[in-house]
Chains A and B, each alone.
Chain A
Amino acid sequence: MLEITNLHVKLAEEDKVILRGLDLKIGAGEVHAIMGPNGSGKSTLSYVLSGRDGYEVTDGSAKLLGEELSEMEPEARAAAGLFLAFQYPVGIPGVGNMTFLRTALNAQRKARGEDEISAGDFLKLVREKAKTLKIDAEMLKRPVNVGFSGGEKKRNEILQMAMLEPKMCILDETDSGLDVDAMKLVADGVNALRGAGRSFLVITHYQRLLDHIKPDVVHIMAAGRIIKTGGPELALEVENNGYADILAEVQ
């Protein structure tokens, strides 16, 4: 699904190098988690994969289903099946949440040569998905992420994911700012999307999210590279002992 090889990335406007030879391979239907200390490049990885401006790939490659991502516009990546659930979802005053969802869904369908969804079918679909995430009609009418609480924003990200049905989902610290109940709700939303060959990359600081979204593989990232890969037990080790042991071991 996603194949990253020797990826090197620097900030476009500065000489700061952030990713230094990152390798990562995620197969269809797999759930991978990335943990790592602050500043290790986890969020940068998610931005670079989704096509945010301001980063420059200096070496290596990142391919989604065999296609080189760096050659695609952000919208083309989305249409190809990539989805990033933002750590800080962006508020867009003046654009209604429903309009936003429908515009995005139809744009992707159009890019894939499919017919646009009818207004009736769309409404039915969005109501059904919103209900399971406990998103009410009022929240759907409000401008995108404007006046939303932290939990509402994250639920709204998962709603978008459910509507757009991407193939490769990246969750960037989706658990940050969530209370226990909200985290459960979000995790249930994600788990409902598992299967059907859909892959996930879960970026998190804490093991607790991985109690709810059980990963197949856990990676530890530091200084712009994956330094250790293991099973779910690796997350537990980090939770108990911190990163110091692993960092020392690698060095």
Chain B
Amino acid sequence: MAVMQAKADALAARLAGARPDEGGWLGKARAEALARLAPMGLPGRRDEYWRYTDPASLTAPEPVSAAVFDAKAEPRPFTALDRLKVVFVDGQFDAAQSDDLALEGIEIERLSLAGHAANHWAANLYGVLEARGQTPVERPLATLNSALATEGVLIRVTGKPSKPVSLIYLRKSNNSDAMLHHCIKVESGAELTLLENGPAAARLSKVLEVDLADGARFHHIRTQGRDHERRAVTHIFARIGAQALFKSFTLTANGRLTRNEAFIELLGADAVAHIAGASMGDGDFVHDDTVFVTHAAERCESRQVFKKVLKNGAVGVFQGKILVKQGAQKTDGYQISQSLLLDDDSQFLAKPELEIYADDVKCSHGSTSGAMDETALYYLRSRGVPLKQAQSLLVLAFLAEAISEIEDEAIADDIRNRLEGWLHRHEH
């Protein structure tokens, strides 16, 4: 009981003073989220799902003050790409820095302006996928976000827009506590590439609900901003229809705490879902990827590819699950989580899980943790490649499988350039 009380107390403290707008479809969705949240409370270290990562700084009423990081002359990600920019500063929409939101084949609206619209499509999505994602494991921080988020984008894709939508999260305050909630609906046969980058806030909570109709295609590439002091918890909830394609890649560099959760449901036959992550931690940083993929239809393919490079006390966590439901025959599931530990101070904690209720499936999973291959290093050096360059080459080679999940070559190159920049700055 003490544990339940602590969770309830944490929630009460967090909600104190919160006055979400109760009007319109959004107000209704927020009220529903609050009602669902009440019996859950907020997570604590004793929850099985938070065994490896302490959620205290994410659940606390106030964010821990976090110095804004000076990236100096380092170029921001995706700058060379033609894209539609939507800019948020410390969680607030910034009209001046954003592009015109009109683009053929796509409707983009701000959450804060759409909450009272009658018959809005997002009323059937906002908080709905998040609620589906509460079983079998509760994710109260996502519900908290549904209850309190005031800003985000609602994107409905009906065609094939000519360029990616790029959500840019800038941060100027040491104490900002941002909550963003995005809903994306890609209609049958439509396509969207979504880019996200930036630290967003001293503390960020972000929920992305993605609904893919039959035959829809969705590419998601994000970089989380290498601010040393920021903290973030993000959730992706995806519902994927028949023959639809979902691909998500995340690059995480440093950051005091990053918990990225994904809950992906393959609901129509022949659907594909790939989720990948490359992360690099140098110092007192925690990177946690917690992924749950459900196969609920025949002949679907899923891949989870997570690679972490850790040094100087960085901690990497991977909790990944593939659930194959009864009837989901011919499932092809793959999961790999690997860490490259560049010294003895770093740590990788992995919990790969498979739960299978169909008898004609192919599922494989692997998890490894190791140091850099000394023999390979010697081989490279014996050919004249200097030590640091050889190490960087091996780190990039280690991350290559995750990066290869990015289909667009220009975007993949941009990510590789960032990795090289990071490796150049962080001697190892």
Hey, which bits of chain A sit against chain B, CB under 8 A? 50-53, 73-75, 77-79, 83-84, 86, 89-95, 99-100, 103-105, 107-108, 111, 143, 160, 164
Q: A93-B397, A95-B393, A107-B389 are in contact. Are A160 and B379 (CB under 8 A)?
A: no
Residues of B within 8 A of A107 (CB): 383-386, 389
Let me know if B375 and A78 touch, CB within 8 A: no
Question: A94 and B398 in contact (CB under 8 A), knowing A75-B387, A103-B385, A107-B386?
Answer: yes
List chain B residues, Cβ under 8 A from A78: 381-384
State A243–B400 Cα separation when bound (angstroms).
49
Query: Does the CB pair A92–B384 fall under 8 Å?
Result: no
Any A CB within 8 A of the CB of B374: yes
A95 near B384: Cβ-Cβ < 8 Å:
no
Of B379, B383, B390, B398, chain A has the most CB atoms within 10 Å of the CB of: B383
Task: Write the nearest CB–CB distance from A179 to chain B, whole angstroms.
Answer: 25
B121 CB within 8 Å of chain A: no
State the total of A-B contacts with C-beta under 8 angstroms.
77
Q: Which residues of B contact A (CB under 8 A)?
A: 373-376, 378-387, 389-390, 393-394, 396-398, 400-401
Q: Provided the pairs A51-B381, A74-B381, A103-B393 are in contact, do residues A92 and B386 lie with their beta carbons within 8 angstroms?
A: no
Task: Specify the chain B residue showing the minimal Cβ separation from A86.
Answer: B379
CB distance from B415 to the nearest CB of A (A): 15
Asked whether, in the complex, the Cβ of B384 is within 8 Å of the Cβ of A51, the reply is no
Q: Are A103 and B396 in contact (CB under 8 A)?
A: no
The CA of A79 and the CA of B380, in the complex, are separated in Å by 12
Max count, chain A CB within 10 A of own CB: residue among B373, B380, B384, B386: B384
Selected from B379, B381, B389, the residue in CB contact (under 8 A) with A92 is B379
Q: Chain A residues with Cβ under 8 A from B378's Cβ?
A: 51-53, 74, 90
Can you list 26 A-B contacts with CB-CB less than 8 angstroms, sorted by A residue number? A51-B382, A73-B381, A73-B386, A75-B381, A75-B382, A75-B387, A78-B381, A78-B384, A79-B384, A90-B378, A90-B379, A92-B373, A92-B379, A92-B380, A93-B397, A94-B396, A94-B397, A94-B401, A95-B397, A100-B380, A100-B383, A104-B383, A104-B384, A107-B383, A107-B386, A108-B384
B400 and A94 within 8 A (CB): yes
Asked whether A104 and B380 contact (CB < 8 A) given A75-B385, A95-B394, the answer is yes
Q: Are B375 and A164 in contact (CB under 8 A)?
A: no
Question: Would you call A164 and B401 a contact (CB within 8 A)?
Answer: no
Q: How far is the CA of A52 from the CA of B378 in the complex (A)?
A: 6
CB pair A75–B386 under 8 Å, yes or no, is yes
Chain A residue contacts of B383, Cβ below 8 A: 78, 100, 104, 107-108, 160, 164
Q: Is there an interface contact between B379 and A111, defined as CB atoms closer than 8 Å? A: no
